[in-house]
Structure 1
Amino acid sequence: MPISVDACVAQHLGDRREQQDRVAILPHPGGGGVALAVVADGMGGHTGGTIAAQQVVHTARNNLERFSARSESARVLLESSINEAHMLIKACRFINEKDPHSTVVMLLLQPGKVSWAHCGDSRFYHFRGDSLIFRSTDHSYVAQLVVQGKITPEQALVHPNRNILLTSLGGVETPKVAFGEAEGLRGGDTFLLCSDGLWGYFTDQELAWAIDGAASAREASELLIGRARALAKGDGDNMSLAILKLVDTAAPEKVSASAADDGLLPPQPAK
């Protein structure tokens, strides 16, 4: 059965003075069902984090425009985008006298498969219905403690050192990047990319239930941000997310009312 994509990006300032996250879903200019989703969580004090996150999205957009799905691998696109953004962010330290850094998570959607990469603690989730298929592992101090069995995932959410990252873009060392890929996609598969300002309030199962139970990607975005804001109790971080829901369609010539001509819903910010 043909599949369409219902997609949405959303952000909320939280209780911060400045929005240092950046998020985008970028359709390939050549179409073909190829698109790149990006979430970048900037760090580095006033304006520094914004500069870093903007550079991540800008670099990803430029590389996507030159990407040929027929002759180039998804991993090369993702890896080059992250490494180039890293070098450009480092250069900004000298030009702007800031200390910019950023995390990043990217997803490249192609017909029948997705590829992803991440650095830091911005996350990638793959759900099928209300079940978790895959979740990225943070490059953070507490994530390593969980992997080592020293603390539980629940303890990690409230650990005093939960914000310590082991790698990011813009640092002295080359960023550590994790990659993955999935094929055999079908209707009911959903992909979530988000910054820690969102996922920090939910278990994996709660995210799955909320997204699966929503009628659209936009409704899921609004629901998650609304719940996170209520749980933040006046001390919430910036939040950014991108949701891509694969939907079975009745016929090839029909496109979901919530989808654009290229098969992707234009980014719709949730208030």
Structure 2
Amino acid sequence: MIIDTAKYTAPGGHEVNEDSILLLEDKGVFAVADGLGGHSSGEVASAAAVRYITENFSGNYDEKSIAELLEGANGYVAKNGAGGKTTIAAAFVHNDIFIPVNAGDSRVYYFRDGKIIFISKDHSVCRASVDMGMISFEEIRGNDDRSRLLKVLGGAEKLGAKCAAPITMQSGDAFLICSDGFWEYVLEGEMEADLLKSETPEKWLEYMLKRHILRAKNAGDNYSAVCGFIRGDEDKKVSTAPKGSLLLPLTLIFAAAAALGAGILLTNSNEPDATLGASADTAYASSEI
């Protein structure tokens, strides 16, 4: 399988972007970490989490090894996160198998035929309330307890990480990994609607970002997303645009954000990286897994 990806991260209404994005396309590792805004050094914690995964992923894609990797990241953040804590949402892809894992309320979404078939389970008071039938899933957004998390990296000595059930990928599938600052302002039905009208992951991300900016008015939390389109080796390449060629359509998004007081910097890269900074960052890539 080949995965075409797009990523975006921005500080929203804050001076510091505490989110970090990780793309290791050659290894099939994709992640978003969201440093906790109510704690000190959230940006240090999220950067530490993606650094640990980058440097310590062994290439073993079994669920036990991935869970152990997150346990190691938990300890590393506790020691090297300057007192900060962070969520993590990640996917490990190998041999047409997609393995999601998360801690906190950053999410992994998986789509087939334009519909969501998997959403990672938040480790939060709100999600626990959903499980107990006290509120609906849709009522998580805007709930007073939404920021009360039950599991994060750098918190408890033992994370208790568990992977969700592996998904066998099919050509035409898609995925989205994002921080809560992103999904708070983009509804699940909107994710599906925008996916159905998108030929590339960058176009899908563009549609969702338009919704986010119009709704949040760049006054919300940091927001980050990685999205991917999955295609078979025999399929026509989804994203063939050269670097910089997507500047024009994205200008509409960035102009709206600039009008709301956001500082924007457009970058393009095909290199695996962890993105952390005060300005927005966008990149597109294609890799064979």
TM-score tier by shorter-chain length is: 0.7 to 0.9
Counterpart AA for 2:78? K
* Aligned with residue 134 of structure 1, among 107, 110, 118: 118
* Aligned with residue 20 of structure 1, among 11, 18, 21: 18
2:98/2:167 contact within 8 Å kept:
yes
Alignment CA distance shift 1:109-1:204 (3 Å): same
SS in 2 for 1:202: coil
2:35 matched residue in structure 1: 42
Q: Does 1:154 align with 2:138?
A: yes
* Aligned with residue 206 of structure 1, among 179, 182, 190: 190
Cα distance, 1:184 vs. partner?
3.4
4+ residue runs over 6 A deviation: none
Q: Does 1:55 align with 2:85?
A: no
Instruction: Tell me the distance in 2 between the aligned counterparts of 1:61 and 1:12.
Output: 22
Instruction: Tell me the distance in 1 between the aligned counterparts of 2:37 and 2:133.
Output: 31
2:91/2:100 contact within 8 Å kept:
yes
Structure 1 residues 213-258: Cα deviation after superposition (integer angstroms, max 9, x where no partner): 222111112221221121113421111111111124546xx75554
Counterpart AA for 1:22? S
Q: State, as a whole percentage, how many aligned pairs show the same letter.
A: 26
2:199/2:238 contact within 8 Å kept:
no
Alignment CA distance shift 1:259-1:148 (3 Å): farther
Counterpart AA for 2:46? A
1:31 matched residue in structure 2: none
Instruction: Tell me the distance in 1 between the aligned counterparts of 2:16 and 2:201.
Output: 25
2:262 matched residue in structure 1: none
Instruction: Tell me the distance in 1 between the aligned counterparts of 2:167 and 2:127.
Output: 27
The CA RMSD measured in Å over matched residues stands at: 2.5
SS in 2 for 1:180: coil
Q: How does 1:65-104 map to 2 (within 5 A)?
A: 66-67=58-59, 72-92=60-80, 98-104=82-88
- With 118-127 and 174-183 compared, the bigger mean Cα shift is at 174-183
Q: How does 1:224-243 map to 2 (within 5 A)?
A: 224-243=208-227
Instruction: Tell me the distance in 1 between the aligned counterparts of 2:94 and 2:135.
Output: 37
2:128 matched residue in structure 1: 144
* Aligned with residue 98 of structure 2, among 114, 120, 138: 114
SS in 1 for 2:16: coil
SS in 2 for 1:178: coil
Alignment CA distance shift 1:88-1:259 (3 Å): farther
- With 167-176 and 19-28 compared, the bigger mean Cα shift is at 167-176
1:6/1:265 contact within 8 Å kept:
no
- With 174-183 and 13-22 compared, the bigger mean Cα shift is at 174-183
Q: Does 1:182 align with 2:175?
A: no
Cα distance, 1:90 vs. partner?
1.2
1:141/1:165 contact within 8 Å kept:
yes
Q: Does 1:269 align with 2:282?
A: yes
2:199 matched residue in structure 1: 215
Give TM-score, length-normalised by structure 2: 0.78
1:21/1:53 contact within 8 Å kept:
yes
- With 206-215 and 39-48 compared, the bigger mean Cα shift is at 39-48
Instruction: Tell me the distance in 2 between the aligned counterparts of 1:183 and 1:153.
Output: 22
- With 237-246 and 169-178 compared, the bigger mean Cα shift is at 169-178
2:171/2:231 contact within 8 Å kept:
yes
- With 44-53 and 150-159 compared, the bigger mean Cα shift is at 44-53
Instruction: Tell me the distance in 2 between the aligned counterparts of 1:164 and 1:18.
Output: 21
Cα distance, 1:141 vs. partner?
0.5
State how many pairs are aligned: 249
Cα distance, 1:78 vs. partner?
2.0
Cα distance, 1:180 vs. partner?
1.9
Structure 1 residues 147-205: Cα deviation after superposition (integer angstroms, max 9, x where no partner): 11111123221211111101111113422433124343211211111000001123322
Instruction: Tell me the distance in 2 between the aligned counterparts of 1:44 and 1:256.
Output: 36
Instruction: Tell me the distance in 1 between the aligned counterparts of 2:139 and 2:38.
Output: 28
